[in-house]
Amino acid sequence: MLRLEDFRVVFVAVGLVGVLLFASPSLGLVLHFPAGERFSELWILGPGHMAEDYPYSVKAGVDYLVYVGVGNHMGSSVYYGVCVKFRSQSEPLPNATAGSASPLVPLYEYRVFVEDGRSWEAPLTFSFAYVSQNATYCLVRGISVNGVAFEIDKATSWDAENEGFFYGLFVELWIYNVASDSLQYHDRYVSRWLSMTIA
């Protein structure tokens, strides 16, 4: 048979559990549990919003379509810059070791706010103009990105190993830094190789 002191212990234990349950919403304001990993995503998708059917063999005068996107898992809303760049095979990509952006000038830029846990995606159309080739050399003098034409001077040599004249279309992710009041490279980029043809 239970004694009065045994009931008292059970009553106190149940009372403490009840108080903790009642106070748990307030404890969330005081106790800070470690957050998960904070990161941003960056992607290029093909014309069907899938990771397939990317433009590869390209030529002048044809419009090509891909989609660029950003996913925010940083714990708060973020202001992003997505810079579109174009390079010849010999020009540099961003330096992953140093965490620095490519020194190439952006051709086009998207600037967007993305809420935490959300993503943003937009079409990226591009076409080429004034392309000339011979047996060992290819020169591209014009590119249009989302209907905006740019004069460029991108030359590349024949790649005998891969049998083509290769260029790279890539996007870099930049993020707003409150302390410097400017966008800074966020150490993320995605690149797609393009094989330039005349016919």
Q: Summarize the confidence of residues 177-196 as an average pLDDT.
A: 95
- Residues 8, 56: one domain? no
Give the least confident one: 18-22, 30-34, 86-90. Answer: 30-34
Predicted local distance difference test score (pLDDT) of residue 22 = 64
Quick one: CA dihedral 157, 160, 161, 163, positive or negative? positive
- Residues 4, 82: one domain? no
3-state secondary structure of 178: coil
- Residues 55, 109: one domain? yes
Predicted local distance difference test score (pLDDT) of residue 5 = 65
pTM of the model: 0.81
| Domain at 171, CATH number | 2.60.40.10
- Residues 12, 92: one domain? no
Which has the higher per-residue pLDDT, 27 or 97?
97
3-state helix, strand, coil split of the chain in percent (to 5) is: 15, 50, 35
pLDDT band at 3 (very low <50, low <70, confident <90, very high): low
Looking at residue 70, its amino acid is V
- Residues 43, 28: one domain? no
Predicted local distance difference test score (pLDDT) of residue 17 = 63
Nearest alpha carbon to residue 104 among 172, 186, 183, 195: 172
- Residues 105, 53: one domain? yes
Q: What is the CA 129 to chain-centroid distance, rounded?
A: 27
Predicted local distance difference test score (pLDDT) of residue 34 = 56
- Is the pLDDT assigned to residue 35 strictly greater than 90? no
pLDDT cut 90: percent of the chain above it: 79
- Residues 62, 125: one domain? yes
Q: How many domains does the chain have?
A: 2
pLDDT band at 66 (very low <50, low <70, confident <90, very high): very high
- Residues 78, 117: one domain? yes
- Rounded to whole angstroms, the Cα distance separating 169 from 104 reads 12
Predicted local distance difference test score (pLDDT) of residue 175 = 97
Q: In what order do the strands lie in the sheet with 119-133?
A: 39-45, 64-73, 119-133, 137-145, 148-157
Residues spanned by the domain of 142:
39-196
- Residues 101, 160: one domain? yes
3-state secondary structure of 101: coil
Mean pLDDT of the chain: 89
Q: Which two tokens stand for residue 69?
A: 């996107």
- Residues 25, 50: one domain? no
- Residues 91, 8: one domain? no
- Residues 105, 123: one domain? yes
